[in-house]
Amino acid sequence: MPAVLVVTGPSGAGKGTLIRELVERVPEIEVTVSATTRERRRGEEDGREYRFLSAAEFHARVEHGEFLEHVEFISGQCYGTLRSELARIAENGHTPLLELETEGALRVKHEVPGAVTIFISARVDELERRLRERATESSGEIHERIELARKQLEQAREFDHVIENDDLERAVTELTTLVRGLLGATATMPRR
């Protein structure tokens, strides 16, 4: 059984949607709540999507060695996985699933024995369309994310598994089958 599962890929590849569908089907996994210094978006709740920290608190926690991994990302915003999250999930008897950008994912792959990494891929024009549709970033930030996405797509082969998300339903099935296989889990019905 993998110690941790890592799902990565460019912004707009649909990692969030795929993970939501996955956890409904595979209740043995639990998604870690990352810490970030970025602004809270409408509809997000502190402690649910992220733990929203000030830059000062984030850096203090880095100094104390509280992060398994952390990155400074777009526009200087920081994101990171607190070690305490992995401990909390392990205590629940679940397997932690981390949703990370590629740099953090590669770090976990190399530093955590037994980590399994899954790259969610999509075409660049599709990524751009989804980011513009979501409209949570300014056009400058979208441009920055697209450029980063191009670079990240080239890194796909560094990860253990690659799933194309051109068709959501097919990608959900592929991801669920893969994760069930990794966990040795028997088929489970959706929680809904």
Residue 81 vs 121, nearer CB to ligand 5GP:
81
Stretch that binds ligand 5GP, among 71-79, 114-122, 160-168, 170-178 (CB under 6 A): 71-79
The only residue of 104, 109, 120, 180 in contact with ligand 5GP, by rule CB under 6 A: 104
Minimal CB distance residue for ligand 5GP: 104
> Would you say the C-alpha torsion 8, 11, 12, 16 has a positive or negative sign?
positive
**Which DSSP category does 46 fall into?**
B
Contact predicate 25/179, CB 8 Å: no
Q: Which two tokens stand for residue 72?
A: 């400074």
Residue 69 C-beta: closest distance to ligand 5GP, Å = 6
Whole-angstrom Cα distance, residue 180 to residue 183? 5
100 binds ligand 5GP (CB under 6 A): yes
Contacts of 54 (CB under 8 A, 6+ apart): 37
Q: How far is CA 45 from CA 33, 79, 114, 136, in A?
A: 11, 16, 31, 16
Specify the amino acid at residue 162. Answer: V
CB of residue 186 to ligand 5GP, shortest distance in Å: 29
Contact region with ligand 5GP (CB under 6 A), list: 78-86, 111-119, 159-167, 169-177: 78-86
* DSSP string computed for 96-109: EEEE--HHHHHHHH
CB of 67 to ligand 5GP, least distance (A): 8
Closest CA to 15 of 190, 189, 168: 168
Q: Decide: is 165 part of the binding site for ligand 5GP (CB under 6 A).
A: no
Identify which range of 52-60, 77-85, 121-129, 155-163 contacts ligand 5GP by CB under 6 A. Answer: 77-85
Cα gap 53→55, rounded to integer Å: 6
Q: How far is the CB of 66 from ligand 5GP (least distance, A)?
A: 12
**Piece of the chain touching ligand 5GP by CB under 6 A; list 18-26, 96-104, 156-164, 175-183:** 96-104
Site residues (CB under 6 A) for ligand 5GP? Answer: 11, 34, 38, 69, 71, 73, 79-81, 99-101, 104
